[in-house]
A and B are shown apart, each in its own frame.
Chain A
Amino acid sequence: MISTILIIGGGQAGAQAIDTLRREGFKGRLVLVGDEPELPYQRPPLSKKFLSGELAADRLPFRHQSFYDEHRVELKLGIRATRLDAANRKVVLSNGEDVVYDRLLLCLGAVSRHLTCPGADLPGVHYLRAIADVPQIQAALKPGTRAVIIGGGYIGLETAATARKMGCLVTVLEMADRVMNRVVASNVSEYFAHEHRAHGVNIVCNTRVVRLDGTDRVERVVCADGTSYEADLLVVGVGAVANVELAADAGLKCDNGIVVDEYCRTSDPAIFAAGDCTNHPSLRFEMRVRLESVDNAFEQAKAAALNMLDRPTVHDRVPWFWSDQFDNKLLIVGLSQGHDQQVTRGDPAQRSFTVCYLKGGELLAVEAVNHSKDYMAARKLIAERARPHLDKLADPQIALKEAI
């Protein structure tokens, strides 16, 4: 008999698990512990419309408080889980309380990777991951502020676009030879770098930050080639690492994330995990993955909830991602690792094009720039392991869904 389910982590995955558990008939005690004081909220707007002030704070939560009351959810917010005692099925909380569980779901998320160079601990070095990170960054977003962003990935570029729209003089420093190099094709990188430059953002690639200078706070970023950049605002977006400490200390198997099977089960049969913190198998893509993705957090939490109720459910989805930068929408579906062919549909100069990746003739992944039709068609085709005709695929006049 499962009488208590405890969820640690109040992000996308934790919030979704609550929803699924109650809608699917779990009537027992349901506790959610989250270290942030806010009701579970959406993170993606933090670098976009919430940062710019377009989206008010009361629009960030997934649900109103009344939803949790109505569904008898014990929210323990602003409280950390300090120790997991798996042998006794117990979690110790920072307020001194213990919660004994029948099933535990870990939705611990990821934490920003921090800089380690000299000066990295100076005040004024900002990371963007939580609501609490926003006010200090926001306060500096005004015309004339010299904003330096370290890292040209999603967070860095979205923050750069927001800062530029608010009148800042923005420089993005990227170590690789192109922006978003780990996640998109080179022509997509080029397109976005061009868009940023056209809006007045200074994008500098092939540059390595070696030092941060300043007396009371960070004032200057110094690069390996000797160049330096004055910074009134410094935001660092150099990736994230899975937050596994609680799990690892309890002896759960971890390896770039908490290791789970396709049923979201950890190495302890009473403990499940979902979201950015997991290293899980993708049957469709035939590899283990750790994904930082809203979609994955949502779907994996849903599957985990069902599995905790002893309703076996395999988590094996085609992941998708998006990014908003200026008036551009980048939509990505699938995982391109291991592709042996790449086809671009359309012309970047038209501000709408799609890059398709194939492996052994099967559609593996798609990156769509301002092209929601191709993206939606690809979601279906990739899941079905469709094999498009290459000449049709390369013809943007033929709809992607008709290219098979």
Chain B
Amino acid sequence: MARIVFWQPDGQRRDVEAPAGITLMEAARLNGVAGVIAQCGGACACATCHVYIDPAWVSRLVPVDDMEEGMLETAWERRTNSRLSCQVEITPALDGLEIRVPPRQASN
């Protein structure tokens, strides 16, 4: 298990206890975290699960691959700490990770 902290677009903090092995996107979606739309369910086909990772954690995540890079390129307000949350699997090492959800996603 890992505790993931999501900061929703409305400024509200949502703490989610998530099992290792699922993705950040799934942890957000299953718990109804606002702003993580995740239409394609993790197929890396929609770019609607874009989040900002706490800069201190960025280098500890699996790197962005070509497919994710292509999707992120046109994401709304991409930053250096942008990720598609469907591409990051939760491990116990991510306990305490903080994530900000942007107010907009690619689809809206």
Contact = CB atoms under 8 A, between A and B. Distances in A.
Given A59-B22, A322-B45, A295 B39 contact: yes
B34 to A, nearest CB: 7
Given A320-B46, A376-B47, A23 B34 contact: yes
A71 B31 CA distance: 12
B7 to A, nearest CB: 17
A331 to B, nearest CB: 6
B107 A299 contact: yes
Contacts of A63: 29-32
Interface string A347-379: 000000000000000000000001111011101
Q: Which of B22, B31, B32, B47 has the most CB of A within 10 A?
A: B32
A229 interface: no
Interface in A58-75: 59, 61-64, 66-67, 70-71
A71 B47 CA distance: 26
B73 A294 contact: no
Contacts of B70: 371-373, 375-376
Contact of A376 (B31, B41, B66, B73): B73
Given A373-B70, A376-B71, A329 B34 contact: no
B62 interface: no
B41 A372 contact: no
A331 B45 CA distance: 7
B103 to A, nearest CB: 13
Contact of A44 (B22, B32, B43): B43
B40 A294 contact: yes
Q: Is the interface of B mostly helix, strand, loop or mixed?
A: loop
Interface in B14-58: 22, 26, 29-32, 34, 37, 39-41, 43-47
A299 B107 CA distance: 9
Contacts of A44: 40-41, 43
A45 interface: yes
Contacts of B107: 295, 299
Interface of A: 19, 23, 42, 44-45, 59, 61-64, 66-67, 70-71, 294-295, 298-299, 320, 322, 324, 329, 331, 370-373, 375-377, 379-380, 401
Cβ-closest 9 pairs across A and B: A372-B70, A322-B45, A373-B70, A376-B74, A67-B32, A42-B41, A372-B71, A64-B30, A372-B67
Given A44-B41, A295-B39, 5 more contacts: A23-B34, A59-B22, A294-B40, A372-B67, A376-B47
13 contacts: A42-B41, A62-B29, A63-B30, A67-B30, A67-B32, A294-B39, A294-B40, A298-B37, A299-B107, A322-B43, A373-B73, A376-B47, A376-B73
